Amino acid sequence: MIIQATVIMTHKTRPTTNRKLRILFKNSLAMIVFNIDILLR
C-alpha cells in the first residue's frame, strides 16, 4: 500500500522516476523468481 501510494505520488510529480521505479521493481521481481526457481531444483 505504501509503495503504491509512493508510485502514484512520483507519477504526478515526475513520470521519469516512476518509469525507473517500475523497471527496478520488475528487475527485482525477476531476480526473486529466478532465485526461487534455482532453490526449487
| Domain of 19, in residue numbers | 2-40
Amino acid letter, residue 2: I
Structure confidence at residue 14 (pLDDT): 64
Q: What is the mean pLDDT of residues 29-36?
A: 86
Domains identified in the chain, total number: 1
The count of residues in the chain is: 41
Angle between helices 2-13 and 15-40 (to 10 degrees): 150
What local confidence, expressed as pLDDT, does residue 11 receive? 56
Please determine, for residue 1, whether its predicted confidence score (pLDDT) is greater than 70: no
Residue 10 pLDDT greater than 60, yes or no: no
pLDDT reported for residue 39: 85
pLDDT at 4 over 80: no
Tally of CB atoms within 10 A around 18:
17
Identify the helix (H) or strand (E) that includes residue 33.
helix 15-40
